[in-house]
Amino acid sequence: MTVAFFTSSRRRAAVALGAVSAGLLVLSACDKPTPLATVTVGTNSVHSEAACYNDGDAIKESQIQQCLNKKAEKTITVSMDDKVRFGVDPEIADNGWTIFLGGQQAEPEPYKKTYRTIPASAFFSSQTGETTDKTQVTIVETDGKKLTGIWHFELKKDS
């Protein structure tokens, strides 16, 4: 009976090669994460990956309304006198982004910076003048012509 003995340096090389191969296999199975958007109120923050994202390409027209109507998975509580801070990854800012309220565009032009602050009171009055206890805020990556990413957050008024 013969037994193959490897020298310790060959054994280490074989183990290293196996580890590298396994690592590459694991990485090839991973999806690239979408850029993040963050909402901060005081010392509390929530961040989210996109609800709809097509690797920086335009989202299909047939999917846009469905994406805009998705329910927010991340919620943050705000007082009426708080400031709501929005932050986006630089690649979102490079393309431009805007805020939608309840699925409707709230701003005419895309914003090109990574960070902005808006008073919380701006989010809790309806078009009829009634106040609401919660509102869905959607960050939409857009160059003004095509939508390329959608992130949802719910702002809940502190009672």
Question: What local confidence, expressed as pLDDT, does residue 156 receive?
Answer: 95
Q: What is the mean pLDDT of residues 98-127?
A: 88
Closest CA to 93 of 143, 53, 49, 150: 143
Residue type, 26: V
Q: How confident is the model at residue 10 (pLDDT cuts 50, 70, 90)?
A: low
Residue type, 51: A
CA angle 67, 68, 69 (to 5 degrees): 90
DSSP 73: S
Instruction: With beta carbons less than 8 A apart as the criterion, state whether 59 and 147 touch.
Output: yes
Between residues 7 and 21, which one has the greater pLDDT? 7
